[in-house]
Structure 1
Amino acid sequence: MKILGIDPGLRVTGFGVIEKQGARLAYIASGTIRTPDGDLPQRLKSILSGVGEVIGTYRPDCAAIEKVFVNVNPQSTLLLGQARGAAICGLVQADLAVAEYTALQVKKAVVGHGKAHKQQVQDMVQRLLSLSGLPGTDAADALGVAICHAHSGDALKALQAFAPALGGKGLRMRGGRLVG
């Protein structure tokens, strides 16, 4: 299964593509989508078309994107939310299932604790994917989102195996919570 991870940003949106085969993760590609200076609609269009190009090139099976955190500057938070929305539109336009993870969830999945620094995320992404060099911060964050999604699917499947013993027919996610 190929997983596309997205780290949204108005100036720079990171992307990372990995392949999951059993418990093994393999690096496919990563990079950034940079928007030109200018008005907001053109920048959002760049993100939308850039995500479409990445999907067309690497043909992922599913996607995961980082959730926006609330910033001290409300204007920055709104702009980041619009960039994230443009990226999500590109993903769903290609009929990809989209999972969403907070930065805390991504850091826990990649580094082991939610207060990890960007350098720690970069180092662990490099190790987990056996990369010859350190990925850029935006690409590393996007690869981290993809890794988080790869591991989250395993955890859900493991929990579903126990559902019949607990009297449930199966488990699924609803509103970010596991329900039977």
Structure 2
Amino acid sequence: MRVLGVDPGLTRLGIAVVDGGAGRTVRAVAVDVIRTPVDDDLAVRLLKVADGVEEWLDEHRPEVVAIERVFSQHNVRTAMGTAQAAGVVALSAARRGLPVMFHTPSEVKAAVTGSGRADKAQITVMVTKILGLTTAPKPADAADALALAICHLWRAPMRDRMAQAEARAAEIARTHRARLAAAAKATRIRTVTK
């Protein structure tokens, strides 16, 4: 499976493509940062993000897009820009019919480092080791994008199994309710006919 990982941001948007193989095998395909000038109007910056993401989607043809879920931040303006950039990425993926998965920062940290409280330096070190890179990806936004793709590749099979189990449980519950209703109806009919 090929995953486009995105660490959303308006000034710097980390973007990476990782291929997943059997088990936990992962391979980095590409990584970069899409930058927009802070002096540009918001609409122009979002357009530049969209154009950059579209180029990546055209070039790398991912099967799924994994985006970091915007979590509460102290700076509301930064949070808004991050959320808007994430929305542009999700829209670009949706236009192509690609599934979009959102992962919380703690999910990504836990998947890659084993701790949901890891710092950016720990994430960079682990991403470098996991992918067998000769140099650490920089800036941190690039490492975070790689971590998002890895997180998705490692968690997607578990999510799929959970969804299948939930669907089976729901079907069993429906069948059970139908049997109970049929038994209750049969009991009522026998009672009336006596």
TM-score range, shorter chain: 0.7 to 0.9
Quick check: 1:64–1:145 contact (8 Å CA) kept in 2? yes
Offset at residue 114 of structure 1 (A): 0.9
| 1:139 corresponding residue in structure 2 | 142
Secondary structure of the structure 1 residue equivalent to 2:59: helix
Question: Aligned equivalents of 1:100 and 1:47: distance in 2?
Answer: 18
Question: Among the aligned pairs, what percent are the same residue?
Answer: 36
Secondary structure of the structure 2 residue equivalent to 1:14: strand
Higher-Rg structure is 2
Matches within 5 A, 1:82-161: 82-136=84-138, 137-159=140-162
Q: 2:79 aligns with which of 54, 77, 80?
A: 77
Question: Aligned equivalents of 1:63 and 1:169: distance in 2?
Answer: 30
Normalised by the length of structure 2, the TM-score is: 0.80
Q: Give 1 or 2: higher helix fraction.
A: 2
| 1:176 corresponding residue in structure 2 | none
Question: Aligned equivalents of 2:85 and 2:159: distance in 1?
Answer: 29
Matches within 5 A, 1:156-175: 156-159=159-162, 163=165
Offset at residue 167 of structure 1 (A): 5.0
| 2:186 corresponding residue in structure 1 | none
| 1:28 corresponding residue in structure 2 | 29
Offset at residue 168 of structure 1 (A): 5.5
- Structure 1 runs of 4+ aligned residues shifted over 6 Å read none
Question: Aligned equivalents of 1:148 and 1:70: distance in 2?
Answer: 20
Quick check: 1:52–1:94 contact (8 Å CA) kept in 2? no
Question: Aligned equivalents of 1:88 and 1:22: distance in 2?
Answer: 27
Normalised by the length of structure 1, the TM-score is: 0.86
| Shift in CA distance, 89/112, structure 1 to aligned 2, threshold 3 Å | same
Instruction: Give the CA RMSD over aligned residues.
Output: 1.9
